[in-house]
């Protein structure tokens, strides 16, 4: 078993760290929220008084942070972890950030002889708790294989997307498509409801027709069609609107860099920004259904 430092114990990071403990790893945790740290301590983790403490004798340091600026600051900022990490420690950043930040941090760490992979996740809070996340990894093959050892304790599907930063690009491509599917599924379901159709029946028809997709089958945005999904629980997240809007911002930034055509992605971003403007940023992203149903 490995010695793991874990930074960032939010809705995703906390359950991920708990699964590492369940797998038998020694885990040292750091977060600015003392309640989150206390929860992990109760599960068997040790507490890092300062963030650099997670580096002590660590085989792996894993981070789950809000944005690229935080990842840069933690690893390469003033008194960053680059000054404390051992040469045999591998850094695994699971944050969803811009590819440029991942590449910047990875290159800086490489200059100091420290291995790094970016490994953003898909699967939401439920997947984090169940240990069924999908990890999308960017880095060289040897570093990917080494990271695979601990990623399998937190996830079910682990993909090697390419070099450092590739994990981030693949993740935002996936989430851009997800947002488009959720908006389109919501639109189609509501049109059927407007014509008097039962949304359960319409969902079943589309699931057995060419409109079948993940959001319709496993995350249906119409209340009471499926059990145990956010739409049937007052749109409690799940994956918040604010996070989807953030990922769509990263997607649009990435599209500009390569002059990629993303008209559907841009429209989806506008819709999720509208939800934020309506004060729905903390609701699950499937609450976009309400843009069509609340007329």
Q: Residue 294: pLDDT band by 50, 70, 90 thresholds?
A: confident
Count CB neighbours of 38 within 10 A.
14
Residues 152 and 8 in one domain: yes
For residues 152 and 201, membership in a common domain is answered with no
What is the model's pTM? 0.92
Please report the pLDDT score of residue 176 as a whole number. Answer: 98
63 shares a domain with 37 = yes
DSSP state of 137: E
Look at residue 13 and give its three-state secondary structure. Answer: helix
Residue 44 three-state SS: coil
> What 3-state class would DSSP assign to 272?
helix
What average pLDDT is seen over the chain? 96
Is residue 37 located within the same domain as residue 120? yes
pLDDT above 90 for 145: yes
Count structural domains, the chain.
2
The domain boundary, picked from 107, 135, 163, lies at 163
Domain range for residue 126?
3-163
pLDDT above 70: percentage of residues in the chain: 100
State residue 284's pLDDT score. 96
Q: Tell me whether residue 200 is one of the annotated catalytic residues.
A: no
Query: Which of 163, 198, 225 is the endpoint of a domain?
Result: 163
Tens of pLDDT, residues 201-231: 999 999 999 999 999 999 999 999 999 999 9
Active-site position among 47, 141, 171, 246: 171
In this prediction, residue 223 carries a pLDDT of 98
Tell me, what CATH number does 13's domain have? 3.40.50.720
Under 8 Å between Cβ of 238 and 125: yes
State the average pLDDT over residues 89-100: 97
CA distance 45 to 14: 11
- The reported pLDDT for the residue numbered 125 is 87
State the DSSP H helix or E strand holding residue 6, giving kind and residue range, or none if neither. Answer: strand 3-7
pLDDT for 244-266, tens place per residue?
999 999 999 999 999 999 999 99
Mark whether 271 and 129 lie in a shared domain. no
Q: How far is CA 283 from the centre of its chain?
A: 16
Q: How far apart are CA 16 and CA 151, in angstroms?
A: 9
Q: Can you tell me the distance from the alpha carbon of 234 to that of 223, in angstroms, rounded to the nearest whole number?
A: 8
């Amino acid at each position: 078993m490995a010695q793991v430092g874990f930074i960032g114990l939010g809705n995703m990071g906390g359950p991920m760290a708990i699964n590492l403990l369940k797998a038998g790893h020694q885990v040292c945790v750091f977060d600015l929220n003392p309640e989150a740290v206390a929860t992990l301590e109760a599960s068997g983790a040790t507490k890092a008084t300062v963030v650099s403490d997670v580096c002590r004798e660590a085989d792996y340091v894993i981070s789950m942070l809000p944005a690229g600026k935080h990842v840069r600051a933690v690893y390469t900022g003033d008194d960053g972890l680059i000054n404390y990490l051992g040469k045999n420690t591998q850094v695994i950043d699971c944050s969803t950030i811009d590819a440029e930040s991942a590449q910047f941090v990875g290159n800086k760490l490489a200059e100091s002889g420290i291995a790094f992979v970016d490994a953003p996740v898909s699967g939401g809070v439920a997947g984090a708790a169940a240990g069924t996340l999908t990890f999308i990894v960017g880095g060289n093959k040897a570093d990917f294989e080494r990271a695979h050892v601990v990623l399998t304790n937190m996830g079910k599907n682990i993909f090697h997307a390419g070099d450092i930063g590739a994990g981030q690009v693949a993740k935002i491509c996936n989430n851009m498509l997800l947002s488009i599917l959720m908006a389109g599924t919501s639109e189609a379901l509501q049109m059927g409801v407007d014509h008097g159709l039962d949304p359960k029946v319409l969902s079943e028809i589309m699931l057995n027709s060419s409109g079948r997709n993940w959001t319709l089958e496993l995350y249906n945005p119409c209340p009471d069609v499926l059990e145990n999904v956010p739409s049937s629980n007052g749109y409690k997240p799940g994956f918040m609107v604010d996070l989807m809007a953030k990922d769509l911002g990263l997607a649009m930034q990435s599209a500009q860099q390569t002059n990629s055509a993303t008209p559907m992605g841009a429209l989806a971003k506008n819709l999720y920004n509208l939800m934020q403007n309506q004060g729905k940023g903390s609701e699950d992203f499937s609450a976009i259904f309400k843009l069509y149903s609340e007329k």
